[in-house]
Amino acid sequence: MNEMPILQVQEVTKTFGGILALNRVSFDVREGEILGIIGPNGSGKTTIVNCITGFVKMSSGKIFFRGKEITGKPAHKIADLGVTRTFQIMRPYYSLPAYKNLVIPLFSPRAKRTGGWRGGGKLGDRNTVGIDILEEIGFERDSFVPYKMASALPTGYLKRLELARCLALRPEIVLCDEVFSGLSMSEIASMVPLIERLQMDGITLIMIEHRLRELFRVADRVLVLNFGEKLFEGTPEEVMANEKVKKAYFGSEEVEEVMTYA
Amino acid sequence: MTFIDRRKERLDRGIKVRADGIYALMSWRELSYLTLPRMVLIAGMLLLPLLMPNLYWQRVISIVCIYALLALSFDFLAHFVGLVSLGGALYIGTGAYLAAILNKKLGLSLLFTIPAASITGALICTLLLLPCLPLRGVYFAIVSLMYPLAIARVIEALNIFGGTDGIMGIESFPNNWVEQYFGIIMVLLFLFGLRRLVNLDIGLVFRGVKDNDQAVRASGMSVAYYKAVAVFIAATMGCLAGACLSHTYMFAGISLFALDFSILPIAATVIGGSGTLAGPVLGCLILVPISELLRSFGTLRIAIYAVVLMAFIVFKSEGLMVYGQRKYHQFERWVKI
């Protein structure tokens, strides 16, 4: 494949005081793929998302989006290019109903340019477009869930609302920071087809996950981080078979047997 | 030991539920349910100058309007944008001095000085506050409080704009009625304008900035830009009030950078009910006349003020307007649990 990667991350390093959160991490993301990022707690997964989306200034390194450098740009400029993110700790507008939550991103310059998800924002009233997006992402219109206050929504809906906020911008890349965590098995089961549909619609997804089984089902490639360094990169099968990854996750070799039984 | 075996249940009145929809257009009763409170406020405000016994109290109405504009701008910034601004004195001072300079030095009439001082004053205030916009909560409050204090001392030290004497002999309003009704109409315009604004799409962005500025950034919008726009709107109101004040007093001096203009609007907002926009106006209608009545107590009135404020915060922290709205829209009854 000699196409230009949609996102190139080159030697990104981030230090918080004396702590090295990311140490020269490099990887490419191909257009239209789902890239999983996994790693034990504190391995720098969220930090890499923060660096890419401009929420945190990286100490050194470069990031290119479609060949153009986006290093050091402010967060809203990067989102304006179509590189959007969800937050691990959900950040809805709690004082507004769910559909009004989408009026805000639909009001953004990018949504005004692109018309938002499916392009409806250029024509219609932002309230109805917001409800359309919510319905597509699993808020049943007839159940009045889109009209509920965000503060009254359960976690599953809030995770979807995070995704919907990205979709309202008509994104090119969505960086999902643990969209499966905190969800029940049945909620995840309904989320997986949604992720697959977004991929079919041409959105490139970068997914940070702890729920490996579900991630491996949808991901095309997986990147493993450990103590801020890139440990391994490959297909889900390769990752599962890799010894280094097992060690990072389970520590010593004796525990390995436990994993095979599990 | 007492057990709590009952709680207050609140239910929306049927008429509120119906009046929220399009059905309100179908009956006079429901239509008046929606419009009556607004009409009472508008009519009350417009009748106010006629009810005042003498010139002194008519002047008080003008002052009420000036504080009401400040309180509106405070409530808008604090409750809908999340910026707790103590810049009331900054807006008043800037607006007053600009109007004074335009009037005295350039000889412009009041028809020009008031709008010009509002807009340029708001620009100046926004530029001054621009570096502090990333700050939130109490930090923004502190910085916005420092500006009026600093500017007053700068004017004093450099002896510019008339120094400690201030600028005197500014053109006054043609007569008392113009003065009062101009203030009242401005308050009503900004009150209903702001109420509409906060429900528009851009108003939702303002509220989003308050609720969750990170999500606004993640939506591809510059938080600083929207905060600046909001501060500009608030400063326009404040500077308008300042310009009116200088024409009312026919004077602009460093006393217009006094803390009263920062503090009283907050007190009015607390008493009236924050986040209602109408509440702060109501609060000013109560507080400013009380403050005038207490004038005979001298500086002790500040102490009485403080007690009133404390009592409100402790016993009715929601504010009069929120309380009133609840009674108007909802049934309340005790139910056993």
ipTM of the complex: 0.87
pLDDT of residue A2: 56
pLDDT of residue A255: 45
pLDDT of residue A258: 44
Residue of A nearest to B80 (CA): A95
Chains A, B: CB pairs < 8 Å: 81
Mean pLDDT of A39-67: 92
Greatest pairwise CA separation for chain A in angstroms? 61
Task: Give the model's confidence band at B294: pLDDT under 50 very low, under 70 low, under 90 confident, else very high.
Answer: confident
What is the C-alpha to C-alpha distance for residues A159 and A43, in angstroms, rounded to an integer? 23
Q: Using CB atoms within 10 Å of the CB of residue A143, give its burial: 0 to 12 exposed, 13 to 18 middle, 19+ buried.
A: exposed
What is the C-alpha to C-alpha distance for residues A76 and A70, in angstroms, rounded to an integer? 12
| Three-state helix/strand/coil letters over A28-80 | EECCCCEEEEECCCCCCHHHHHHHHCCCCCCCEEEEEECCEECCCCCHHHHHH
Give the nearest partner residue to B220 out of A80, A91, A95, using CB atoms. A80
Give the nearest partner residue to A110 out of B202, B214, B220, using CB atoms. B220
Task: Give the model's confidence band at B317: pLDDT under 50 very low, under 70 low, under 90 confident, else very high.
Answer: confident
Cα–chain center distance at B316: 20
Interchain proximity A107–B218, CB inside 8 Å: no
Is the pLDDT at B326 greater than 90, yes or no? Answer: no
pLDDT of residue B1: 57
Sequence ranges of the domains in chain B: 55-259
Query: What percentage of chain B has pLDDT greater than the value 70?
Result: 97
Mutation target for B interface from A104, A158, A159: give the one with most B CBs within 10 A: A104
**Do residues B319 and B2 touch, judged by C-beta distance below 8 A?**
no
Task: Give the model's confidence band at B72: pLDDT under 50 very low, under 70 low, under 90 confident, else very high.
Answer: very high
Is the pLDDT at B21 greater than 50, yes or no? Answer: yes
Residue of A nearest to B217 (CA): A76
Residue of A nearest to B205 (CA): A104
pLDDT of residue A213: 86
pLDDT of residue A262: 41
Which chain B residues are closer than 8 Å to A75 by Cβ? 217-218
What is the C-alpha to C-alpha distance for residues B90 and B73, in angstroms, rounded to an integer? 13
Interface membership of A211 toward B (CB under 8 Å)? no
Interface membership of B209 toward A (CB under 8 Å)? no
Which chain A residues are closer than 8 Å to B219 by Cβ? 76, 79, 104-105, 108, 165, 168-169
Tell whether the torsion through CA atoms of B36, B40, B43 and B46 is positive or negative.
negative
**What value does the CA radius of gyration of chain A take, rounded to a whole number of Å?**
19
Which chain A residues are closer than 8 Å to B206 by Cβ? none
Flag the least confident range among A253-262, B19-28, B254-263: A253-262
CB atoms within 10 A of CB B49: 18
Which chain B residues are closer than 8 Å to A107 by Cβ? 201-202, 204-205, 221
Mean pLDDT of A96-116: 90
What is the C-alpha to C-alpha distance for residues B281 and B297, in angstroms, rounded to an integer? 25
Which chain B residues are closer than 8 Å to A91 by Cβ? 212, 214-215, 218
Task: Give the model's confidence band at B130: pLDDT under 50 very low, under 70 low, under 90 confident, else very high.
Answer: very high
Interface membership of B61 toward A (CB under 8 Å)? no
pLDDT digits (tens, 9 = 90+) for A131-184: 888 988 888 877 888 888 999 999 889 999 999 999 999 999 999 998 888 888
pLDDT digits (tens, 9 = 90+) for B29-55: 888 888 888 999 999 999 999 998 888
Interchain proximity B219–A105, CB inside 8 Å: yes
Is the pLDDT at B290 greater than 60, yes or no? Answer: yes
Which chain B residues are closer than 8 Å to A80 by Cβ? 220
More confident residue, A49 or B313: A49
**Do residues A53 and A75 touch, judged by C-beta distance below 8 A?**
yes
Interface membership of A159 toward B (CB under 8 Å)? no
pLDDT digits (tens, 9 = 90+) for A13-45: 999 988 899 999 999 999 999 999 998 888 899
Is the pLDDT at B15 greater than 90, yes or no? Answer: no
pLDDT of residue A59: 92
pLDDT of residue A261: 45
pLDDT digits (tens, 9 = 90+) for B254-274: 888 988 888 889 889 988 998
Give the nearest partner residue to A75 out of B204, B211, B217, using CB atoms. B217
Interchain proximity A109–B202, CB inside 8 Å: no
What is the C-alpha to C-alpha distance for residues B228 and B126, in angstroms, rounded to an integer? 6
pLDDT digits (tens, 9 = 90+) for B183-215: 999 999 999 999 999 999 999 999 999 999 999
Cα–chain center distance at B281: 7
Mean pLDDT of A64-91: 93
Q: What is the pTM of this model?
A: 0.90
Mean pLDDT taken over chain B? 89
pLDDT of residue B136: 79
Nearest-CA distance A136 → chain B (Å): 19
Interface membership of B82 toward A (CB under 8 Å)? no
Task: Give the model's confidence band at B169: pLDDT under 50 very low, under 70 low, under 90 confident, else very high.
Answer: confident
Task: Give the model's confidence band at B229: pLDDT under 50 very low, under 70 low, under 90 confident, else very high.
Answer: very high
Interchain proximity A108–B220, CB inside 8 Å: yes
CB atoms within 10 A of CB B235: 30
Mean pLDDT of B237-244: 96
Give the CA distances from residue A253 to residues A224, A232, A243, A244, B3, in Å, rounded to whole numbers and listed in that order: 19, 18, 9, 10, 59
Residue of A nearest to B224 (CA): A76
Interchain proximity B208–A93, CB inside 8 Å: yes
Is the pLDDT at A93 greater than 90, yes or no? Answer: yes
Residue of A nearest to B206 (CA): A104
pLDDT of residue B22: 62
More confident residue, B282 or A115: B282
Give the nearest partner residue to B202 out of A77, A94, A107, using CB atoms. A107
Which chain B residues are closer than 8 Å to A55 by Cβ? 214, 217-218
Nearest-CA distance A91 → chain B (Å): 6
Interface membership of A111 toward B (CB under 8 Å)? yes
Is the pLDDT at A202 greater than 60, yes or no? Answer: yes
pLDDT of residue A251: 66
Q: Using CB atoms within 10 Å of the CB of residue A52, give its burial: 0 to 12 exposed, 13 to 18 middle, 19+ buried.
A: buried
Nearest-CA distance B79 → chain A (Å): 11
